Structure 1
Amino acid sequence: MSFTLPGRRVHEIIAEQAASHPDAVALSYGDVHWTYARLDNRANRAAAALLHHGLGREDAVAVATERTPPWAAAILGVFKAGGAYLPVEPGLPADRITAMLTGAGVKLVVADGAGTDSVREAAERAGARVLDVGDITGDRWPCVDPGITVTAGQLAYVFFTSGSTGTPKGAQCEHAGMLNHMLSKIADLGMTGEDSLAQNAPQSFDVVLWQLLAALLLGGRTVLVPTEVVRDPERFVDVLVRQEVSVLQLVPSYIEILLGYLEARPRSLGPLRILSATGEALSKPLLARWFAAFPSIPVLNTYGLTELSDDVLHVVLRSLPEGDLVPIGHPILNTRVHLVDGNLNEVPPGEAGQLAFSGICVGRGYVNDPELNRKVLRPNPFGPGTLYLTGDFGRLSPSGEVEFIGRQDDQVKIRGMRLELGEIETHLRALPGVLNASAISTAGALTGFVVGRTRLDPGHLRRCLSRVLPDYMVPDRLHQLDALPLTPNGKIDKRALATLATTIRKPVVWTR
């Protein structure tokens, strides 16, 4: 669907809200509440400080603070000053932070105080200056808007993701793509200025930006939820209810954790009216559990990549789909999806093809990595602009919605046969009694991990799989865990599972 974007940037629209509703609450962080006027004032001061310290157009600024109101002001200040936001988890190892700073050419790092030991060490190695977020948002800097012109095609942010070589790769996205995604989220979630949106993702997860800023485009409220609260489902629900959160986004792995708590201790989620699932494939059994617990709360299922300005496919689900796979939806505004073969020809509906995207969503590619950019960014054979090849595979369902099959990276060879780990995981999750599952390949053998409410029989599970999968796709070993290990972003930690696979000896592990 084509849609003409506003002629202003995200930070400019939020500044307009501050002018119209200065005393409305923009941010809530525990018992701390910042109005729109205060947020805009502090963002202007941050912009002035960054410009004073030499920030140039599209220069990347690393923000390595905890997720607090000054953090939000610093991000908006980067945008107002014409810079690009680079998120850094302050607890990351110094080597990784150094790789990010040097890769993006960072000269200014915003931190809490002098920064953590790793932030200070990395900044020194990269020749970057550390600025205290409390100082740059403080009263000694001018509070007027700097009046810097920021174009739609200007660089907005750089997010570093894991690289196959061990060096993080920096994905670059522009202001138009960022705004387009946020407006699409607002439309498909039915958001208004009355909504309160939870910001619960860590800095390194690209959804952090829409969670922080989308509600502010409407005059709504953002609720900042600290990481230590998110890790405790009871405290997390307490905050959602107390802060009257109406819109929430979670990865499926955390939805499973949340439901485990709520099924054991049923309680209301307050005014929550819609949930968005992102970051991982949403399984049908997990969706069934959600609707069993909260039949009146729909789920916006999504698919996206950091390189595509976040999510690019949306679908609102109000009941279970008919097929085995949960659809990932239709393209968002100003975006086209193409299912292609190896020659970039579109495949017929129902056949598997690589997911490729064109439109405003497509970013600039990776920082200083022309070889990888040539691999994933191609001239668009279907129209103007650039085509981005995701490495993910899907198919078009009879209803016209895209279904996710798996990642190219998850393709492995077993006994000479190429297979998708994602397909095995889909069938594992569909087995009776299985709440969540994952599969890995180590040393030419398949290992499956399952989570269940009661003890599961591995032999029975393997027999069930053998009815729907060829023999070479049935895991050699199955292990049962209380929960799947997660990365800091809340996604399934495959590296941790690989370590477990080499240490677990028994065919089933029951740790309750």
Structure 2
Amino acid sequence: MLDDAAADRPADPAVRDSRGGWDYRRVVELSHAVERWLADNGVDPGDRVIVQLPNRRETVPIVYGVSRRGAVLVPLNPGMKPFHLRSVLGDSEPALVLVSGQAGDAARENATVPVHDIDDVWADVEARVESSGSPGSSGPSGRDEPAGARGEDVAILIYTSGSTAAPKAVVCPHARVVFAASAINAVLGYRPGDVVFCRPPMSFDYGLYQIFLSALGRAELVLAGDEPDLVLLKQIRECGATVVPIVPSLGSMIATLARRAPGSAPAVRMFTNTGAALPAATIANLHESFPGARVVRMYGITECKRVTIMEPELDRERPGASGRPLPGTRVLILDDAGRPLPAGEVGEIVVDGPNVMAGYWRDPELSARAYRPDPETGRTRLHTGDYGWLDQDGYLYFEGRRDDMFKRRGTRMSTVEIEAAAMDIPGVRAAVALPPAGERDLVVFVEGELDPHAVLRELALRLEPPKVPAACHVLDRFPLTLNGKNERKQLTLLLEGSAP
């Protein structure tokens, strides 16, 4: 991807952060130098390399340099707690770790392999580029020249949290990453001249794939750091962003800031959304503040990267839909016995195609539960554990995860439906419903400045009586995960009185 982009548009801007930017030619040169640095520091093809960096421009040539070496990229959030970091270090067994400043202290304290600060590494990398006579040569090395990541070679391990106690890694082979990125861009259409403003972290596959999508589209990637949310709109305006990937919390903040500071709309032509569905109110507010922009709904999980995308030109149609399957893939809706269901009926979402990743790292039991063979073709399909339905035209409607669906007072319901109703109430910025558990009844949390009893009264106007929560809790601001999603676990602990 990178080499093709550099051959096509070598002088076009490739990546930028608050300290400056590089064109595609320079990123190629730097990626070769990173590959030689890795070789000289004992990294062999197949070795894991943990990259625990904030959003900074060095990440882009590092990602490609790791691939050139044939090593396995393991991106981690700098804010990962030491407890989880120790688990990942033991599970992935990296050859080395790249960190930045004080954020790398936990790695230095817990890793048994070399931990390198990016500033020291980068001085070496830059020196290699300056001393080399050609992009592909950045100094001699006594190690064999690698062929780079190819085909079914593992390219990336992406650690996710979920139903397991410790983070688990999805195994992403090179060919499947390339297919997924190419199929996504075939629908989204990143293009030369685009400026992609990326706030999601590189440890989140949504953020990481912006590197690949930008290269495929010959676009410029602008990496936003951890600046305060209040400067988001200013950053988007100043960098000339045309594409902005968002999760609901980020989209809500951008929409709120835009409504508070009306003026000439930034040049954004497209917002993309995954991670969780955007509330209808947020979509409407983005359309109002950015009249020239599409708001593209998508559904995906790390285990196959992306499942469906709503065509950008249809962003105002089929409310509630999350699009159609990626080109070259298909989505099935199966009942609990594994039988296909007709259009309109809710069942488990199952994905079949080259975007299906290769399972979970060193966990055959967990892999066998999610990645199962098609009884007819033998090809591996992903059983997502999510539920939804397809309409007659093949558009997917997401209903929730298995754990999000439950019966109460004899009525089947989903937390997604309850949250959507709460988000329809004026003044609600975010909503999370927690299903009954043990002696606890159905509860809803909302973010805003509202009376909880008023929220319940409004919900009673929107939902059938069994679906109205027993209690409502109002918070000024929800706790968020490192990827910017609402932290349900933390809200559950808050409810139980054990939150820190």
Relative to the length of structure 1, the TM-score reads 0.87
Contact 1:297 1:318 in 2 (8 A): no
Deviation string 1:295-329 (CA, Å, 9 cap, x unpaired) is 33111111101111x22210035677676x52111
Aligned match of 1:265:
261
Aligned counterparts of 1:107 and 1:303: Cα–Cα separation in 2: 34
Deviation string 1:396-415 (CA, Å, 9 cap, x unpaired) is 12443111111113235656
Which of 114, 122, 136 is the equivalent residue of 1:129?
114
Aligned match of 1:74:
62
Deviation at 1:232, TM superposition (A): 1.4
Aligned match of 1:314:
309
Deviation string 1:236-260 (CA, Å, 9 cap, x unpaired) is 2212111111111000122112212
Compared with structure 1, are the counterparts of its residues 49 and 317 closer, same or farther at alpha carbon in structure 2 (3 Å cutoff)?
Answer: closer
Please state if 1:92 is matched with 2:92. no
Aligned match of 1:111:
99
Aligned match of 2:199:
200
Contact 1:21 1:219 in 2 (8 A): yes
Deviation at 1:416, TM superposition (A): 8.0
Deviation string 1:72-103 (CA, Å, 9 cap, x unpaired) is 22111101111111012233233311211221
Aligned match of 1:223:
222
Compared with structure 1, are the counterparts of its residues 475 and 320 closer, same or farther at alpha carbon in structure 2 (3 Å cutoff)?
Answer: farther
Which of 470, 473, 479 is the equivalent residue of 1:479?
473
- Following superposition of structure 1 onto structure 2, how do residues 13-32 of structure 1 map, counting pairs within 5 Å? 13-32=1-20
Deviation string 1:211-270 (CA, Å, 9 cap, x unpaired) is 1232123332111111x22x413x122121111111110001221122122222224442
Aligned match of 1:510:
none
Q: Which amino acid aligns with 1:84?
A: V
Contact 1:114 1:130 in 2 (8 A): no
Compared with structure 1, are the counterparts of its residues 390 and 268 closer, same or farther at alpha carbon in structure 2 (3 Å cutoff)?
Answer: farther
Aligned counterparts of 1:241 and 1:429: Cα–Cα separation in 2: 28
Deviation at 1:495, TM superposition (A): 2.2
Aligned counterparts of 1:499 and 1:200: Cα–Cα separation in 2: 28
Deviation string 1:107-133 (CA, Å, 9 cap, x unpaired) is 221223697210112212xxx222343
Aligned counterparts of 2:425 and 2:5: Cα–Cα separation in 1: 49
Aligned counterparts of 2:242 and 2:278: Cα–Cα separation in 1: 21
Contact 1:95 1:122 in 2 (8 A): no
Aligned counterparts of 1:319 and 1:433: Cα–Cα separation in 2: 28
Aligned counterparts of 1:427 and 1:116: Cα–Cα separation in 2: 42
Deviation at 1:31, TM superposition (A): 4.4
Aligned counterparts of 1:261 and 1:221: Cα–Cα separation in 2: 24
Aligned match of 2:136:
144
Aligned counterparts of 1:255 and 1:315: Cα–Cα separation in 2: 17
Q: Which amino acid aligns with 1:130?
A: V
Deviation at 1:53, TM superposition (A): 2.8
Q: Which amino acid aligns with 1:44?
A: H
Deviation string 1:264-283 (CA, Å, 9 cap, x unpaired) is 22244422111101100222
Aligned counterparts of 1:17 and 1:460: Cα–Cα separation in 2: 55
Deviation at 1:419, TM superposition (A): 4.3
Specify the SS of the correspondent of 1:307: coil
Compared with structure 1, are the counterparts of its residues 322 and 334 closer, same or farther at alpha carbon in structure 2 (3 Å cutoff)?
Answer: closer
Compared with structure 1, are the counterparts of its residues 110 and 322 closer, same or farther at alpha carbon in structure 2 (3 Å cutoff)?
Answer: closer
Relative to the length of structure 2, the TM-score reads 0.89
- Following superposition of structure 1 onto structure 2, how do residues 222-301 of structure 1 map, counting pairs within 5 Å? 222-226=221-225, 228-229=226-227, 231-233=228-230, 235-301=231-297
Compared with structure 1, are the counterparts of its residues 423 and 154 closer, same or farther at alpha carbon in structure 2 (3 Å cutoff)?
Answer: same
Compared with structure 1, are the counterparts of its residues 20 and 147 closer, same or farther at alpha carbon in structure 2 (3 Å cutoff)?
Answer: farther
Aligned counterparts of 1:113 and 1:448: Cα–Cα separation in 2: 40
Instruction: Say which is worse superposed, 399-408 or 436-445, in terms of deviation.
Output: 436-445
Compared with structure 1, are the counterparts of its residues 51 and 269 closer, same or farther at alpha carbon in structure 2 (3 Å cutoff)?
Answer: farther
Identity %: 29
Compared with structure 1, are the counterparts of its residues 419 and 53 closer, same or farther at alpha carbon in structure 2 (3 Å cutoff)?
Answer: same
Instruction: Say which is worse superposed, 182-191 or 159-168, in terms of deviation.
Output: 182-191
Deviation at 1:338, TM superposition (A): 0.8
Contact 1:90 1:118 in 2 (8 A): no
Aligned match of 1:36:
24
Contact 1:154 1:174 in 2 (8 A): yes
Aligned counterparts of 1:273 and 1:368: Cα–Cα separation in 2: 42
Aligned length: 482
Deviation string 1:408-438 (CA, Å, 9 cap, x unpaired) is 1323565687642222212222345544321
Aligned match of 1:64:
52
Deviation at 1:372, TM superposition (A): 0.8
Specify the SS of the correspondent of 1:148: coil
Aligned match of 1:364:
358
Q: Which amino acid aligns with 1:246?
A: T
Aligned residues: CA RMSD: 2.6
Deviation at 1:185, TM superposition (A): 2.9
Please state if 1:496 is matched with 2:490. yes
Compared with structure 1, are the counterparts of its residues 267 and 483 closer, same or farther at alpha carbon in structure 2 (3 Å cutoff)?
Answer: farther
Which of 377, 397, 414 is the equivalent residue of 1:403?
397
Contact 2:296 2:315 in 1 (8 A): no
Q: Which amino acid aligns with 2:486?
A: I
Specify the SS of the correspondent of 1:137: helix
Aligned counterparts of 2:287 and 2:223: Cα–Cα separation in 1: 26
Query: Runs of 5+ in structure 2 lacking a partner?
Result: 138-144
Please state if 1:375 is matched with 2:389. no
Aligned counterparts of 1:114 and 1:283: Cα–Cα separation in 2: 37
Contact 2:15 2:22 in 1 (8 A): yes
Compared with structure 1, are the counterparts of its residues 223 and 347 closer, same or farther at alpha carbon in structure 2 (3 Å cutoff)?
Answer: same
Which of 332, 345, 352 is the equivalent residue of 2:326?
332
Compared with structure 1, are the counterparts of its residues 107 and 415 closer, same or farther at alpha carbon in structure 2 (3 Å cutoff)?
Answer: farther
Which of 331, 335, 341 is the equivalent residue of 2:335?
341
Contact 2:72 2:154 in 1 (8 A): yes
Specify the SS of the correspondent of 2:311: strand
